Amino acid sequence: MRTGLTKQEKTTDIWFDEKDPLIHIRTHNTALKKRLLAYSRRYPAICQQTDEDPETGCMEFDVEKGRLSFRLTAFYSEERRRAASEAAKAVASNLTRSMV
């Protein structure tokens, strides 16, 4: 969708405070919008779409606190990356053999 906004202007804002039981999310990110929309349809009691701007492609949602998490991931060393690759190849190889 062409919105006339630059990539820098297409932001995702997540805000909450200690008092309000909701997390407010405003995003232009297509993947996040799809996930939040699906989640709001599946769990309407804890996630609601509150606004949509078709001109800019922005959507807003309210989500109950405790339902959204942030995941910080550690840097993969070359050794860890190689071990993960070998493990994935072994699993794929076992799946291929079991299908034959």
What is the token pair recorded at 50? 């509150």
Residue 14, pLDDT score: 96
How far is 50 from 89, CA to CA, in rounded Å? 44
Residue 1, pLDDT score: 59
User: What b/e readout covers 38-57, taking b as 16+ CB neighbours within 10 angstroms?
Assistant: ebbeeeeeebebeeeeeeeb
Residue 100, pLDDT score: 62
- Is the CB of residue 47 less than 8 Å from the CB of residue 40? yes
- Is the CB of residue 70 less than 8 Å from the CB of residue 14? no
∠ Cα 59 64 69 (to 5°): 85
3-state DSSP assignment of residue 22:
strand
The H or E element spanning position 87 is: helix 78-99
pLDDT averaged per 10 residues in sequence order, the chain, 100 residues: 79 94 96 96 97 92 94 87 92 76
